[in-house]
Amino acid sequence: MDLTFRTNKGKFNYRVGAIIIKDGKVLMVKNSRASYYYSVGGRVKFNETCDAAIVREVKEELGVDMEIDYLAYFHENLFDEKDTNEHFHEIALFYIMKPIKDWSKIACNSFVEEDGAKEYLEWLPIDKLSEFMAYPAFFASELKVLHRELKHITEVRNCRV
């Protein structure tokens, strides 16, 4: 059971995200129904640790095993989803990941749970990330200079609540 639920004011998500960087680019996901890119990752399941969740999500979405390098960001995110106009209150932990083996085997075979939209992967240049509609938005500035300490980021954007 995913740690997500609806309320009469919107939806709560407990999520993990993978930051996968290679040659100055970050690996992002897009799907056929969304107008924006988002991080590799997904929802934490009940009785699952965050560390286990990100390793599982990466394996499910990319088809390869990766390991955690370190936890980089604790992200509180309040937003209205652009395409559905649904209000979200999301807590997300973002991990810097590293491959265990060969990068070349990365392939996306996942679908959006809610409606079955096909997902696909794209390497976006970090130095031009602000030119893309990509979330979380803080990636555009934060990924230019990586740090080893955990950083807490709060974003409130386009909220009707």
Residues, the chain, total?
Answer: 161
**Domain residue limits, the chain:** 4-157
pLDDT beyond 60 at 112: no
> pLDDT (tens digit, 9 = 90+) per residue, 10-32?
999 999 999 999 999 999 999 88
- In the three-class reduction of DSSP (H, G, I as helix; E, B as strand; rest coil), residue 133 is classed as coil
Question: Which carries the bigger pLDDT value, residue 50 or residue 117?
Answer: 50
Mean pLDDT of the chain: 89
- In the three-class reduction of DSSP (H, G, I as helix; E, B as strand; rest coil), residue 120 is classed as strand
Residue 93 buriedness (CB in 10 A; 0-12 / 13-18 / 19+)? buried
Q: Residue 70's pLDDT band (boundaries 50, 70, 90)? A: very high
Q: What is the mean pLDDT of residues 33-46?
A: 91
Domain 4-157 fold is Nucleoside Triphosphate Pyrophosphohydrolase (3.90.79)
Whether this model's pTM surpasses 0.95: no
